[in-house]
Amino acid sequence: MTPNPYLFIVILVGVALAFPLIPLALAWIWRRIFQPSKPGPDKTSTYECGVESIGDAQIQFHSQYYLYAIIFLIFDVEAVFLVPFAVAFTGLPVGAFIAILVFLLLLVEGLAWAWGKGCLQWQR
C-alpha cells in the first residue's frame, strides 16, 4: 500500500510548526524557572532612545486648518491661470487684459473678505 501523497505535507506542516514553537516554549520555560521578571517605568516606556517622551504620539491637526487649506487652494489655482497670462502678456488684446484683471480683482476681493471675517486669525 502506497502512503497517502498528502502525508508528507502533513509532516512538513508539523515540522514547520514545531521549528519555531519549540524554541519559544524553551524560552518560556527558562523564564519561568530561572529568569525573574523585572519590569520598571523606564524599561516599559514606549520611546527607547534615552530621552523622555513629551506629550502624546497621536497628535491631531486642528479643524481650523481647513480654512487655510481652502484659501491656499484658491490662490494655487490662480497661479495656474497667471502663468499662461504672463507668458502671452505681450500678444494680448486689451479685452483679455481687462478680463484677467477682473479675475484677479475678484480673488483679491475674496481674500479681503476672508481677512475681514477673521479667517486668517488662528483660533484655538
Partner 1 sequence: MSEQIDERLRTELQRQGVWVTSMQDLYNWGRKNSIWPLQFGLACCAIEMIATAASRYDIARFGGEIFRPSPRQADLMIVAGTVTKKMAPQIVRLYNQMADPKYVIAMGACAISGGPFKQGYNVLKGIDRYIPVDVYIPGCPPRPEALLHAFMELQSKIDSQKLTGAHKAVHLDPKQPSEFPVPTFGKHDLEPPGNPVVFQPPKIER
List of residues contacting partner 1 (CB under 8 A): 34-36, 38, 40-43, 45, 48-52
Secondary structure class of 12 (helix, strand, coil) = helix
Please, what is the minimum distance in Å from the beta carbon of residue 19 to partner 1? Answer: 19
Residue 102, number of CB atoms within 10 A of its CB? 10
Please, what is the minimum distance in Å from the beta carbon of residue 23 to partner 1? Answer: 12
Give, in degrees to the nearest 5, the angle at Cα 74 between 69 and 80.
125
Cβ nearer to partner 1, comparing 44 with 90: 44
Cβ nearer to partner 1, comparing 48 with 76: 48
Cβ nearer to partner 1, comparing 46 with 121: 46
The answer to whether 104 touches 74, Cβ cutoff 8 Å, is no
Please, what is the minimum distance in Å from the beta carbon of residue 15 to partner 1? Answer: 24
Please, what is the minimum distance in Å from the beta carbon of residue 40 to partner 1? Answer: 4
Cα distance between residue 110 and residue 74, in whole Å? 10
Q: Which three cell numbers stand for residue 117?
A: 471675517
Cβ nearer to partner 1, comparing 19 with 34: 34
Helices (H), ranges, 34-122: 65-87, 94-117
